[in-house]
Structure 1
Amino acid sequence: MVTHVSDAPTLQKTPLHALLLERGGKMVAFAGYDMPVQYASGVLKEHLHTRAKAGLFDVSHMGQIALRPKSGDVRDAALALERLVPQDIVAVAPGRQRYAQFTNPAGGLLDDLMVANFGDHLFLVVNGACKAADEAHLREHLSDACAIEVLTDRALIALQGPKAASVLAKKCPEVPAMKFMEAGPRQVGGVACFVSRSGYTGEDGYEISIPAARAEDVVSALLDDPDVAPVGLGARDSLRLEAGLCLYGHDIGATTTPVEAALEWSVQKSRRSGGVRAGGFPGANVILPQFEQGAARRRVGLRPEGRAPVREGAPLFADAASADSIGAVTSGGFGPSLNAPIAMGYLPVSHAATGGLVYAEVRGQRLPLRICAMPFVPHNYKR
């Protein structure tokens, strides 16, 4: 008998892999990991369960990194990180976190990330597909000021939905008092974890970093709650699309600036022209003028006029007969909460006004889409 060895790279497994298989996870390759795309109930029901109760997501493929200041002063780590991101990291108080982006010299985005201040160091969560490059980027530019520790022995889960607080309170009574974007060490069922009140679904919820050796214990206890269902990558994508949130490598990337991506809100005034620590990050000479003058194109929300979904990559046209594309869809699909197709993409600012009409080419047909405000479904964060 001849045994054939696959040329495909071996997929990594998260600390929760065996448990989620037992729970019926249908696994697919994602960011180098074997990850659940859905469970027995299917993407639609998982999506709606998260909006109504609480969904539990394994996001352990993402990178977790500690930046420890060599001086012992966390402000020095924050100042160092500001060399690489356009956000005000110094202003992130202990126990808080902030959304940020690594930029490149052209003003594009190398990755987007979360940055938390744990009092004596910064805790970063970066995208799974980018984590090796992000680590190298940090070591190249920040090793003079920080010890960079990649935390490989931790799982990461997201518990999202209107019942998330009441469910997690049974294991950690402190969490209902946390506000949106609060973060820090917490005991969850007697296990030392890192908990933030945040997520990527538009719902209230938490992200919980757990020591790998205890991850199954914590997650099994949460899944035993009748309000909690395991949710896969499929519903995670439809939830974040309804919330109008960018997916790195699709809606944002190395050729999109924060202004083009409609992420101006994420760059504080202190880092913009005239601010106390303006500039000093890669691509500032491209990004900062866009705050004053605008960018040539913009990420917009799109609602197809019919029932057919319009997928990523579909070219956009100014009218039904134009020969030349003016933009493209970057994310698209069905919005279960709306019972309708939704999408987002980039258009020239001259065609990006809310209420306008553009056309997507789908299988040789021009389908009308209405430009609309985002999010498609209102956010329910605990402010």
Structure 2
Amino acid sequence: MSLRRAATRTRAVFGLAFAQLRRSPGRTALTVFAVMLAVLSVTLLASLGVGVVETGEDGLENAGRDIWISSDPIDPSASGTENPIVGAHGVSADIAERDDVSSASPIAMHDVYIGSDADDLERTSAVGVPQTHDEFGFEEGGGFETELNFSEGEHLDGERPTEPTTEEIVLDPNTAEELDVSVGDTVYLGTSRETARDHEFTVVGIAAYYSQYLGSDAEAVPLTDLQAIAGTSGTDRATFVTASVEDDADADAVGAELDDEYAAYDVRTSDEQVGAMVEEQPLVLASGATLVGLALVGGIVLTVNLFALVAYQQRDELAALRAIGLSRWVLAGTIGAQGLVIGLLGGIVGLAATPLLAIGLNHLASTVAGFESLLQTPPEVYALGLVLAVVVGTIVALVTGWHAGRYARLEQLEG
């Protein structure tokens, strides 16, 4: 077949396809809408899958720390709340003295009980830190600072406090709403229901800073206070010691040196810490991959059914075209051209609607579950939706058009 003849046949095929689309504008509009829904099912589910996997990574990036020092908990079933790093403030002070480190601080985590009424307590997570900072993104109020300056070695002087001294707390917005408290109110806090009655904390701020990192509601408490109510002041236990390196320092090189110096602990850069979290929580990775897989499979199934229905609805027209001598290849090309046009239009509309719906769903997720930016739409998500709409749509339309041409007979018109 010459190039000129092929071009003529292609123009004829697209001419027939456009004529069919114009002949049934209502059907065309509904088909474009259905393709848009298929694209949205792919882009939104895939965005959710990507978000599930990247939530922990985003949390670590928001934490703004370059080095993470940790260790396996004493009891692996304790979900890390044993706080295995002993003498955490001393370790932090030693690391902070390095010329290539700008700051270092310990972080402790405990499961705690909290409530505005000592007889009505809820279980949540508490993160103990030396102080809050400007990046907390307070919705109300502000933060706190501990009385002792651990970076100057005060953790080594005298006995450590065995009772809370600051007695201030920053609540997650969901916790504040559930407890019906605001800045200035008092809450009870303890590692058990019994000990919570003995410790009253003043709400000084409301922020979801550590909730984004943990993926669940978390309250920020002065580290020394949390150690006091948990009974770990004497051993100065923490879950992590984190450090930020100087701007001109290489985080990988600093991490390697600290790994040699603190061989009893695991020293990781921020990227390595993300990988460790994923390895420790394979269900998170599996959930994200499953969502992406379901999005792709579901979109393909919907597209196949859609264009099979389009071909079936045009059976009389296809039979008429076959009766005047057009080949099955031309009939298949006609349906395939319709698939290309419909897929392109539906894909563009679906991709345009994706960021708007993602914003709305992220707002809903943030309000209900405390997750911000749970749906993430990198360029690969849009590419996946466009490939489904245009490439898969065209191929499926060609195949269904070929099969429909097989049954397009003059007898059908006579029937």
Q: TM-score w.r.t. structure 1 length? A: 0.23
* Greater per-residue helix proportion: 2
**Which of structures 1 and 2 has the larger relative contact order (alpha carbons within 8 angstroms, sep 6+)?**
2
* Greater per-residue strand proportion: 1
Q: TM-score w.r.t. structure 2 length? A: 0.22
